[in-house]
Amino acid sequence: MIMTEAEFLQLALADNGELKIILKGEIDETSGEKVGVVAVVFITRDVVRAKEQYEILNNGKAETDYFMLYSCPEDVDLTTLGHYPSLEISREDLM
């Protein structure tokens, strides 16, 4: 089953003591060619602050920006989890 963005956000905002991490995906064209960039832009344990910052970032974003919020445990090799903080930038995004 594929989760909707709203369902994924609700899961990420669970008050479980884990870090809340907001990633930003964007297409950068400053070098004359398109490059996909993913960056961590906010980290907190506070669920309310995470939700507020996610909304602020989404309300002020450029059309090509994409933000995603994750709930993330500490001191864990994240690649061992079923899903971990990441954003996909496809070749089509760079065309």
The reported pTM is 0.84
Q: What tokens were used for 76? A: 């864990």
Tell which residue, 45, 41, 59, has the closest CA to residue 13.
Answer: 45
The residues, ordered by sequence, that sit 6+ positions from 52 with a Cβ below 8 Å of its Cβ are: none
- The number of angstroms, rounded, from the C-alpha of 18 to the middle of its chain's C-alpha atoms is 15
pLDDT tens, residue by residue, 33-88: 888 889 999 999 999 999 999 999 999 898 889 999 999 999 999 889 887 788 77
